[in-house]
Chains A and B, each alone.
Chain A
Amino acid sequence: MEQLINFLSSNMGMIYILILSVFLGIEVISHVPSVLHTPLMSGANAIHGVVIIGAIIVMGQAEPDNYLALTLGFLAVILGTLNVVGGFVVTDRMLELFKKKKK
């Protein structure tokens, strides 16, 4: 119990961000017309690719002789990049179609 309270109080700033972000996410999404559901899902998919930052930090700090961390980190960066780059490009391709091309 004491540990839990310690954890909460030492991360108070982050927890505030967490709670506010939850409501922000709900607020931002709830006005989306169903036309845009697929691109929106795809765009959100690209944004959670931000997990790549963690992969870069792991990879960057890996000791030269820690092959496990190096290999896994390398793999994680590739996967994260796939998520980010693929996600944004696919979303852009979808949205390109929504442009009004007539005249």
Chain B
Amino acid sequence: MENQILQIIYLIGSITFIIGLKRLSHPDTARRGNLIAAFGMTIAIAGTIFLYRNDSGESFSSTNIILIFVALLIGTILGVLGAKKVKMTAMPQMVSLFNGMGGACAAIISVIEYQHHFAVGEYGYMGTVLAGLLIGSISFSGSMIAFGKLNGNINDKTIPGQSIINLILMAALIGTGAYLTTLPEPNMMLLGVLTVGCLIYGVFFVMPIGGADMPVVISLLNSFTGVAAAFGGFIYNNQVMLTGGILVGSAGTILTILMCKAMNRSLLNVIVGSFGGGATGSASVGNAAMGTIKEISVTDAGVLLSYSKKVMIVPGYGLAVAQAQHVCHELETLLEEKGVEVKYAIHPVAGRMPGHMNVLLAEADVPYPKLLEMEDANNEFNSTDAVIVIGANDVVNPAAKKNPQSPIYGMPILEVDQAQNVIVMKRGMAAGYAGIENELFYEPKTRMLFGDAKATLQKLVAEVKAN
């Protein structure tokens, strides 16, 4: 009886996941969708604790139920604290961190199941357990590296022949896994070796991938964890784990591909290409030939903006780091009051995650219709008097169109050089996250405004007010 009720709860849970994901795809229903999925998760968890019966009809022992609740409580407190305290700019690495937790959870389950159910010894069963371990632990260590990179703790590193080493390591891991399924009795030693190998692979997998590609990697690891959860569904013959996991697995893969498309690159190229590492070599080429940099004073910039008809703001990671979204909105309303048309041009991969800029600007109450997607923005640049680039770099680099040698060649960019004037706000002349020079800064119509985005914008606001 209990098991039948539990099955119905799982069914409801699966439906809430589908509805939740569906609703997450529309701005008006997104929040409700998230809550629906959270509700489904809650009943699935509670149902499992109280209604689960094993094959001989036994429920969990009360001691174990207490322990489960203690663990749930610890996890909830830590999770809520972490999620509430994190700054809006640090959201991407937080998602990566939580994703890693899920991966680790899947890996641990596999380790226990390997030992626990060994007697069963079904062919496909052991394969599923090991696949869950493989994917879960790669997702865990990979997510941790992605977290460290976005947090600025870890730099891009490539060892020569990295992609070949990765391929060999992957083959060795799969080979070890396959060998383990054929053994008649548990070999915890070899299982440990396999786990460590997977963790190392996760590190090697993410380590050489450049910062500009990090959003793609997080999305990919997200779908990995989904697949690992789905393997868990196979192990326990549990439909809600299977649907939840596979939904995320396939949705995450599509999202990953959408992101790659935005950069005009294939997924394979992202994984094997080691973007950030290879880029440094070509960075020095033609540096001197690029011309000179011209600066602009805050006063001149204020005048230029106040007397423009149409201004386009191009936000980037610099805006996020400086937490400048509110003062940016202030500048926008101020200019609007003066009769200047102000819009935002959003590159799909500006910031550290797709939609990162939208989230930040929404936080500052910038209305939706002001945010233009890349194609619409590119149609409007030639009628724009002034573009303000705030802490964006690679997404406005003309080398992506002009220079076939450039590592970002072929990536669609915001063609800000079509506008009459370009003001680039930057902290200094450092290269962008992809580590390459930007010709835009040397163009005759470009003026640089150096300084922290927030402080500079504040000065600019004061200047525009005075005009």
Contact = CB atoms under 8 A, between A and B. Distances in A.
A57 to B, nearest CB: 6
A62 B115 CA distance: 12
B170 interface: no
B75 A58 contact: no
A22 to B, nearest CB: 4
Given A26-B253, A58-B112, 6 more contacts: A18-B246, A26-B251, A41-B95, A43-B20, A52-B45, A81-B71
A64 B13 CA distance: 30
The 8 closest A-B pairs by CB, nearest first: A81-B75, A7-B124, A25-B250, A60-B60, A85-B79, A50-B244, A86-B79, A89-B83
A42 to B, nearest CB: 5
Given A25-B250, A47-B247, A92-B31, A60 B359 contact: no
B21 interface: yes
A21 B35 contact: no
Interface of A: 3-4, 6-8, 11, 14, 17-18, 21-26, 28-62, 64, 68-70, 72-99, 101-102
A98 to B, nearest CB: 5
Interface string B16-54: 011011101111001101110110010011001100101
Contact of A51 (B92, B106, B124, B371): B106
A23 B251 CA distance: 9
A57 B236 contact: yes
Contacts of A62: 64, 112
Interface in B66-122: 67-68, 70-72, 74-76, 78-80, 82-84, 86, 88, 91-92, 94-95, 97-99, 101-102, 104-106, 108-109, 111-113, 115-116, 122
Most buried by A among B60, B72, B105, B365: B105
B109 A17 contact: no
Contacts of B80: 85-86, 89
Nearest to B351: A38
A85 B75 contact: yes
Tell me the dominant secondary structure on chain B's binding face: helix
A50 B249 contact: no
Nearest to A70: B67
A69 B355 contact: no
Given A25-B21, A46-B38, A47-B41, A78 B75 contact: yes
Contacts of A50: 13, 17, 41, 44, 229, 240-241, 244-245
A56 to B, nearest CB: 5
Given A29-B251, A81-B72, A54 B236 contact: yes
B356 to A, nearest CB: 6
B355 A36 contact: yes
Given A39-B355, A92-B34, A79 B105 contact: yes
Contact of B246 (A22, A35, A36, A56): A22
B244 to A, nearest CB: 4
A38 B367 contact: no
Interface bracket on B = 35 or more
B72 A29 contact: no
Contacts of A58: 109, 112-113, 116
B242 interface: yes
A81 B77 CA distance: 9
A28 B226 contact: no
Contact of B112 (A4, A8, A53, A69): A69
Nearest to A75: B108
B255 A37 contact: yes
A21 B25 contact: no
A28 B27 contact: no
B68 A60 contact: yes
Nearest to B244: A50
B75 A6 contact: no
A68 to B, nearest CB: 7
A49 B72 CA distance: 13
A26 B376 CA distance: 26
A32 B256 CA distance: 13
